[in-house]
């Protein structure tokens, strides 16, 4: 037999010996591992799950993440193998993690009718909740005055948004504060004179530069039936 063939045969024998030796060693190693019962880590944080699994000799691997409206972000939804299964020590437990509720942006509902607001919320995967009514001299009847989630804010998908809707002008005997912003002080004086209300003019200087109102107290639509005076600021 030629020298190259002898060398090839020798290398082949060595490889076969190493292969079988490795398998024997690994087999003995696996057989010597003790059986353990997989604990339940569903509903727990990754940190807590890793701590519990390491205590019984198991590893942990994050396999996937998904949105879940009912489970906080970072909490385990599923595990494989399941809790209660007997496995060899050193087994890796794969887990799926919650990303929490999917977030959406709140649309601006102010100035819309209830029907229009409902459609806007549905288009944003949100739900209209309580519809409260309030008298208003600023906003027309049936139109949204305010909402309990700021427009543009991010909240969980399918969250409920409550709104306050104008019920129109108040009944006789009830006085609501109008909006005088950016209006002439003379218009406010005519309104106040007819209702026996005194106007306190406030300005940053002794003589106002204009007659335009830039701030008021009380705020628009506030009930001032029993007020004797109101404050208006001029620029």
Nearest CA among 97, 99, 86, 109 for reference residue 39: 86
Domains parsed from the chain with CATH numbers: 33-101 (3.30.10.20), 103-166 (3.30.10.20), 185-234 (no CATH)
List of residues 6+ apart from 3 with CB closer than 8 A: none
- Provide the whole-model pTM: 0.62
Q: Residues 106, 149: contact at Cβ < 8 Å?
A: yes
Instruction: Give the pLDDT of the chain (235 residues) as one tens digit per residue.
Output: 556 555 555 555 556 556 555 555 555 444 567 899 999 999 999 999 999 999 999 999 999 999 888 898 899 999 999 999 999 999 999 999 998 888 999 999 999 999 999 999 999 999 999 999 999 999 999 999 999 999 999 998 889 999 999 999 999 999 999 999 999 999 999 999 999 999 999 876 667 778 999 999 999 999 999 999 999 999 8
């Amino acid at each position: 037999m030629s020298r190259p063939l002898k060398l090839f045969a020798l290398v082949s024998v060595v490889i076969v010996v190493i292969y079988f030796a490795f398998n024997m060693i690994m087999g003995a190693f696996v057989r010597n591992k003790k059986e353990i019962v997989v604990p339940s880590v569903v509903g727990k944080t990754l940190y807590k799950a890793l701590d519990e699994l390491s205590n019984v000799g198991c590893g942990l691997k994050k396999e996937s993440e998904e949105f879940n409206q009912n489970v906080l972000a970072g909490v385990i939804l599923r595990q494989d193998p399941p809790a209660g299964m007997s496995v060899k020590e050193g087994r890796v437990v794969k887990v799926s993690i919650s990303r929490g509720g999917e977030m959406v942006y709140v649309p601006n509902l102010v100035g819309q009718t209830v029907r229009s607001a409902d459609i806007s919320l549905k288009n944003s995967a949100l739900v209209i909740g309580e519809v409260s009514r309030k008298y208003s001299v600023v906003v027309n009847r049936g139109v949204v005055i305010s909402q309990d989630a700021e427009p543009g804010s991010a909240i969980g998908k399918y969250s409920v948004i409550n709104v306050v809707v104008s019920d129109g002008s108040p009944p006789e005997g009830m006085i609501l504060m109008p909006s005088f912003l950016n209006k002439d002080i003379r218009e406010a004086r005519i309104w106040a004179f007819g209702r026996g209300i005194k106007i306190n003019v406030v300005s940053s200087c002794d003589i106002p530069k204009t007659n335009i109102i830039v701030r008021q107290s009380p705020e628009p639509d506030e009930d001032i039936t029993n007020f004797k005076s109101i404050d208006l600021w001029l620029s």
